[in-house]
Amino acid sequence: GRKLERLARDVRALVVTQGAQGSRIFTDGKVHDIPIAAPERVVDPTGCGDAYRAGLLYGIAQGWGWPDTGRLGAVLGAIKIASRGAQNHRLERASVEARFRQAFGYSPWG
């Protein structure tokens, strides 16, 4: 029954996915509202949460800030939802960066 803001005080970051409404990342007393990256088509949501988490893990490993990290998760979720099955999509760095740039107007890779 505790509010998310209260739960967030007990962890380094609290990530709440909201499907088509994007996600929210609570960290360091701040809330980062992460918009979706529009998918090319919606085929199958199976594995979208895993794809989003993969983006988070990559961003964390790269030392990115939470907004960029969450946006990468959104891009990977958008790529995944356009294919059937949890692992039938293919990722290449250049195409992921292009999708990120298309969705958000910049690239966290520089």
At 97, is the secondary structure helix, strand, or coil? helix
Buried-state track 27-64, b at ≥16 Cβ within 10 A, e below 16: eeeeebebebbebeeeeeeebbeebbebbbeebeeeeb
Active site residues: 50
Unique residue bearing structure tokens 């298309």: 102
